[in-house]
């Protein structure tokens, strides 16, 4: 009986998130210096409706669990706003963005400098 009453007192682990489809003009803007910036307060959820090739590997090796039946989801947390972008789409302050979900497994290449050329 004690376990049941303790379970009833716990706060819920999941929160309902309302998803609103957005387009690039909703979050991409040109600032007063004619630079491209992203303006997102908080988090942005990216959902893929199809399974990427890496999903089977990640599931088989137990890197992901409890995922969507079809597709994957990533969450981008913007720590500051606005955040600058160059013409190639590279963030001016990459440490001000945190990735979770599927994209967190794609980080290795993102750690290299933008102008990296292998020998």
39-55 pLDDT tens trace: 988 888 888 878 777 77
Residue 82: asked if its preceding bond is cis (omega within 30°), the reply is yes
Q: H-helix or E-strand containing 44?
A: strand 42-48
Could you count the other beta carbons within 10 Å of the beta carbon of residue 36? 16
The Cα 44–Cα 99 span in angstroms is 10
Give the pLDDT band (50/70/90) at residue 65: low
pLDDT of residue 38: 92
Which has more confidence, 18 or 93? 93
Contact 49, 72 (CB under 8 A): no
């Amino acid at each position: 009986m004690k376990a049941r009453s303790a379970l009833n007192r716990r706060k819920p682990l999941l929160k309902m998130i309302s998803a609103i489809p957005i387009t690039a003009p909703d979050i991409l803007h040109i600032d007063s210096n004619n630079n491209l910036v992203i303006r997102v307060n908080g988090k942005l959820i990216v959902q893929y409706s199809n399974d990427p090739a890496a999903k089977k590997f990640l599931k088989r090796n137990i890197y992901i669990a409890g995922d969507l039946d079809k597709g994957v989801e990533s969450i981008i947390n913007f720590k500051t706003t606005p955040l600058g972008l160059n013409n190639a789409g590279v963030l001016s302050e990459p440490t001000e963005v945190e990735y979770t979900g599927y994209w967190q497994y794609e980080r290795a290449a993102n750690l290299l400098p933008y102008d990296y050329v292998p020998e």
